[in-house]
Structure 1
Amino acid sequence: MSHITSAFTDAVHDSQFCFRRLLKAMSEPGTLVELDRCSGFGAMMPATSQVLLAMADNSTPLWLSQSFLQDNAAIQNVHFHTGATTNAAPEQAVFAVVAAADMPTITFDELAFNLGNEEYPDRSTTLVIEATSLSSGQRFKLKGPGIKEECCIQLGELSSDVNNILLAQGKMFPLGLDLIFVSGEQVVAIPRSTSVEAM
């Protein structure tokens, strides 16, 4: 049985809109942006689906956490609308997408996502993490390129593994993971150049 649902109403313009919003989020770390051009695929949050619609295509290896792999609607729609593969090994994934339900049980150290290399630091994996909230929970202070002095964000309830990844941001630059946190239709990005402190 097909679970295909609609994606962008205007594929070209909606994709460009989302891409520009994501570019703003990555270039201005800690800035909340909203992606409101379509609903989520299956159990995926709307912003998660829109990140993939804007950024993934048939040459993009994706790694999905277990809840998404078991979600036929999410898998079918990602395949149909982007053409991307969803069974990439962690070290080969361009994007790794973590469902909020899976965050407490994932041991990120064992997954060995690609941190890039000195010749191609931009080939690192981008983690897309579904958060319980972007307006409550643990507070973090961000510093680095694209931030005037510093900014503060909240990222809901995080696992200790995700917390450790956050606090390691910026320390390996230019290597490291780019992080995109989503909640509902909201997105905040923390690129590998950003320094993070718990508050």
Structure 2
Amino acid sequence: MGDGIQWLADQDHWEHGVVFARGIGPTELAVRMGGIPGSLASPLTETEAWHLVLDLSTDVEDVVRVGSSGDWSFAVEYGMGDGRDNPAEISRDGVEVIVLEPSPDHPPRTFSYSRDGVVVCGFGLGDELRRWGEHPYLLLPDLTAGATLYPDGRYARPDTEHYRARDRHTLSLIESHFTLSLPREEANNERLPAFVVALSTEW
């Protein structure tokens, strides 16, 4: 399964959104997120992507880097985060889409799963009691079998558990259910195809 996605919880500063899509390639995923084809001439590292969006001398506010792992294309987004704001639209025409939102300014971190233009389910990491979507119980068997929730719906994790351990635990269940992996070396250090994201995308 490669690197999985649990490592995201171990970062000192998880501030980039991650989008997975099954049924389209990486370039199409970037375009559906508002990426402008040809907007960046060469692949970028994570450091270069952050430099672009934080450089006040440019008008770039959002950048997405893309790749693939297993059956899924993935996109790592830096900046404003507009590209991952409409997962239902990204999932049109039978595509499956998973969004992992770090929400550094407004915890908790969140997970959502969309399919064929519909948000199927979502919840906060550490806030799995509150779920949304057309099928909010989709991952409930995983959450109970994995000892995140009791069968009666109560929260089952220890009150003293560190938030990183808690988030890693839930990410492990999501990782296993959907067979997800975000290659750590690629995401953090290697050059990946990159696109400037238009912030005023009309869906």
Q: TM over 0.5, yes or no?
A: no
Higher-Rg member (1/2): 2
| Bigger proportion of residues as strand | 2
Question: Into which bin does the TM-score normalised by the smaller protein fall?
Answer: under 0.3
| Bigger proportion of residues as helix | 1
Q: Which has the higher contact order (CA 8 A, sep 6+)?
A: 2
TM-score by length of 2: 0.26
TM-score by length of 1: 0.27
